[in-house]
Structure 1
Amino acid sequence: VERSKGRIRADVAHRKLAPLGYEGSERTTRRAVAGAKRAWRAGHRRIYRPWIPEPGMWFQWDWGAGPRVREKDTLLFCAWLAWSRFRVVLPTLDRSFQTLVACLDATLRRFGGAPIYGLTDNEKTVTTEHVAGIAVRNPELVEVSRYYGVTFASCVVADPESKGGSEATVRLAKADLVPTQANLLPDYPSFSALERACSQFCLEVNERPHRETRRAPAEMLLEEQRCLHPVPKAPFTAAFGETRSVSFASTISFGGVRYSVPHQLVGERVWVRRHGGEVVVVHVDPAAGPVEVVRHALSTPGRPRILEEHYPPRPPGPLARAPRAASAEEAAFLSIGEGAKAWLIEAAAAGAPRIRSRMAEAVSLAKLHGAEAVDRALGQASAAGRFADGDLAAIVAHGEDGELTRPREDHSLQPGTAAWGALR
């Protein structure tokens, strides 16, 4: 029991005792091993002491596996302000250092200030190595620490219990945000949908009373903000990459390749960097801090990466323009119905003469026979290519019983040319 640190099985102990001359039954061995385990655990039990945090002192963060969105794995950045129990959950596509800085900035801005210490795991973005049990900080994170005025610490290696607050936040976030058979959540259609779900989750958990304090974390945050020091107005952008200005075509140039960004960012400054086989574009919002706006697959010069969702709907081209009234007469004609619009488009394409006079005639006929009958006649006239004088009135008079016909290619009023053969 001592050698196995209280983990040895009773049947294994019995097999080792039997060759040594032990004649007792296996049941007796089980009782003896169980008693020895209880005695060993009593002397080696981990002692827990309740942690009573001070306002404005600590916050913790951790990462959790998020749902798959459009065949891509996502991650959940989960932060927890210790005294008020205020939680922040942000979805990301990676856990790189640049993404970590963006998440930390957004988290501190949601807190409304920066606490003194931040606690997390021993990832390479935080700790480069351990020397004699002392964690060596990532030099880039040290710059971030000085910029925001937060001292970053890491928990004991392989000991998640030393940061239980963030572990609980990850557990709650995964239970409510990752689709499983237990919560029956549907798959997320887009990354934006996951962002909205995370925002809604944070709103719910921060507005309801916490079982430990019996108060809502959002309410306690208002008190804790008095103990937080201000967050710099500008985010720490040195880690986000190179700056680019968004052109009037909603594109940026990076590595000789044009990449599209949302059209709302025209004229704005963005940060762009390469991450593996992707190009990541970040925009710094004055209120929300740095926000990742798009990820493109890395391309080569001459092969731009343009996404249709970055642009508003295309305006109608020369073949799809719809009639728009510019005068009272035109408005009266177009108000007849869809047949009037179709007639105008076809008549204009056919180069029909005196279109305006025929439009006035259609308005007069609509007053006599009703707009519905004239609209139907205009539709038939446009389909048959009849734009001459009197055609519309004839179709209206003929009613619905007439058969729609078009001039055939093999029929013509042109006389034959057989007589030309006599000419020498």
Structure 2
Amino acid sequence: MEILEAYDLTGSYRAAAELAGCDHHTVARYVKMRAAGQNPQDRRHRERAIDAFLPKIEELVVRSNGKIRADVVHKRLVAMGFTGGERTTRRTVAEAKAQYRAGQRRVYRPWITEPGLWLQWDWGWGPVIKGRQTILWCAWLAWSRFRVVIPVWDKTMPTIAACLDATLRRIGGVPAYALTDNEKTVTTDHIAGIAVRNPEIVEIARHYGMTIRTCVPADPESKGGSEATVRIAKADLVPTEVNLVADYRTFGELEAACRAFGEEVNARVHRVTKRRPVELLAEERQRLHPLPKQPFTVAFGTTRRVCWDSTISVEAVRYSVPHELIDTRVWARFHGDELLVTAVAADGTAREVARHARGQAGTPVIDAAHYPPRENKEGDRKPKATSAEEAAFLMIGPGAATWLTEAAAAGTRRVKAKMAEAVALAKLYSTAQVDRALGTAALTGRFADADLLSILDYQVKHDSDQPTRASETHSLQPGTSAWARFGTTPAPAGTDLDEDTF
């Protein structure tokens, strides 16, 4: 433009060339191009040595779907007689790839979502806990951008049903469609490009009143919302050197972290909608279908019948459940490192009735709270009168019951006679004094014939209910001081050698 401006000012090729600092032939060429209606920016293509090999380069780029490397192309061109440098080949291959991508570029149409229509879910690898790999269920409600992340150990059908049920209950309704990947739990086969659904997932979807859809095989771009949810969840929850997240010691810590992550991302303003997902979810709930009152039973795992000992068997391990459920059917499934047992009442209300840590075969996992208090257990039996004589003895007080229990355990003879003696003594002394004496006798283990009377007489005189015990400073063992002078002083004739002699 400076050249043409200089020519318009001077009207001379040479004068314009001096002003523009170029050759006058260049000024003449640009003036003629403008006069012919051509773009002065266009330049004539000069013949290059690689132009003869352009068809081959385009062929190689198309055959490789634009993935062939320039150094590979250069080796082939050299074998065909190309004498140029590798830099020229790289530049030409880059141009060919750009033209190929322009012709093959995928054109996206903006997805304008409607409230209450689409839910997407996908899986992502979670952190390793105690040497075991976890998996993250990542669900995404398309219109409100509401996210739900649930950690699990596997991707089996019961786990999918449980996660789907938990997701729908967090959302507060059921959308019309659920979009996911083509895993065997969802799609069993493809025939003529048509996905064949797994009948179990169809039953689950029919129970909740929604339709399962799958993306194009090997095409994650067709479910980009859930892919982004997986990427964001892994970036925040999986420990890496970038986020400096600490390792999880238990599965419960990971569950708490996932719930906190959901609360955080759903409460902050979304960059596209400029609103918080929780606010949009409140509006979208008005367009969601109502949840069925009774969840799909497979969401709770596999069925088990409660045996007469109030236990169920799961993977050769017996787990206890409340004794009220004996001879009924419950549902059991593993969630993390815990076994969850769920029961459904007659009105359809489901509730969790037991939760146990994963056990080992041969070792039952029992919770004492699942059983009623044991009566008449050995060591905890309480005396109960079966005759008038026994009732009269037990009416003396708790000391009498303790005496009977201890005397029976010690194998005391003539127990009934001694009980009658205690009843007679209760008429001579006060009932409280006899009961205290019986308790003392049971405590000290004195069950002989005259022991009760002796203890009673002592306690009445000394007014004490504590038994007398020998101190550590006194001993009944005879001393050995008499033998200290043995052999040193001869005893007189006719003297008895006893302790007084020495």
Contact 2:161 2:298 in 1 (8 A): no
Once residues 258 and 121 of structure 2 are traced to their aligned partners in structure 1, the CA distance between those partners, rounded to angstroms, is: 15
Give the letter for the 1:135 counterpart.
A
TM-score by length of 1: 0.68
Once residues 416 and 59 of structure 1 are traced to their aligned partners in structure 2, the CA distance between those partners, rounded to angstroms, is: 95
Contact 2:179 2:213 in 1 (8 A): yes
Contact 1:270 1:281 in 2 (8 A): no
Q: Over residues 69-113 of structure 1, what are the superposed CA-to-partner deviations in whole Å (9 max), with x where a residue is unaligned?
A: 233221111100000000111111111001000000111111111
How many pairs are equivalent? Answer: 334
Where in structure 1 are there 5+ consecutive unaligned residues?
Answer: 312-317, 319-347, 361-385, 392-405
Aligned to 1:74: 134
Q: CA deviation at 1:296?
A: 3.0
Q: Over residues 176-206 of structure 1, what are the superposed CA-to-partner deviations in whole Å (9 max), with x where a residue is unaligned?
A: 1112222222222221121111111111111
Contact 1:122 1:154 in 2 (8 A): yes
Contact 2:319 2:356 in 1 (8 A): no
Cα RMSD of the aligned pairs, angstroms, is: 4.0
Q: CA deviation at 1:124?
A: 0.6
With a CA cutoff of 8 Å and minimum separation of 6, indicate the structure with the bigger relative contact order.
1
Q: Over residues 231-270 of structure 1, what are the superposed CA-to-partner deviations in whole Å (9 max), with x where a residue is unaligned?
A: 1111111462114459997x43458752246xxx674674
Q: Structure 1's 103 and 291: CA in aligned 2 closer, same or farther, altered over 3 A?
A: farther
Give the letter for the 2:209 counterpart.
G
Q: CA deviation at 1:127?
A: 0.4
Aligned to 2:213: 153
Aligned to 2:240: 180
Instruction: Name whichever of 25-34 and 63-72 sits farther off.
Output: 63-72
1:18-167 correspondence runs (5 A)? 18-167=78-227
Aligned to 1:323: none
Instruction: Name whichever of 286-295 and 212-221 sits farther off.
Output: 286-295
Once residues 415 and 140 of structure 1 are traced to their aligned partners in structure 2, the CA distance between those partners, rounded to angstroms, is: 90
Q: Which of 477, 497, 500 pairs up with 1:414?
A: 477
Once residues 294 and 324 of structure 2 are traced to their aligned partners in structure 1, the CA distance between those partners, rounded to angstroms, is: 19
Q: Over residues 257-316 of structure 1, what are the superposed CA-to-partner deviations in whole Å (9 max), with x where a residue is unaligned?
A: 52246xxx67467412699xx99544369999889945635625xx424589999xxxxx
Q: Over residues 34-70 of structure 1, what are the superposed CA-to-partner deviations in whole Å (9 max), with x where a residue is unaligned?
A: 1111111110111122211110010000111111223
**1:299 to 2:361 alignment:** yes
TM-score by length of 2: 0.58
Aligned to 2:284: 224
Once residues 370 and 256 of structure 2 are traced to their aligned partners in structure 1, the CA distance between those partners, rounded to angstroms, is: 19
Contact 1:62 1:120 in 2 (8 A): yes
Once residues 198 and 211 of structure 2 are traced to their aligned partners in structure 1, the CA distance between those partners, rounded to angstroms, is: 12
Aligned to 1:331: none
Contact 2:304 2:313 in 1 (8 A): no
Contact 1:66 1:178 in 2 (8 A): yes
Aligned to 1:2: 62
Aligned to 1:168: 228
Give the letter for the 1:129 counterpart.
D
Once residues 216 and 357 of structure 1 are traced to their aligned partners in structure 2, the CA distance between those partners, rounded to angstroms, is: 80
**1:205 to 2:265 alignment:** yes
Larger Rg: 1 or 2? 2
Aligned to 2:253: 193
Matched position secondary structure for 1:143: helix
Matched position secondary structure for 1:53: coil
Contact 1:11 1:26 in 2 (8 A): yes
Where in structure 2 are there 5+ consecutive unaligned residues?
Answer: 1-60, 372-378, 380-441, 447-454, 484-496
Once residues 121 and 284 of structure 1 are traced to their aligned partners in structure 2, the CA distance between those partners, rounded to angstroms, is: 32
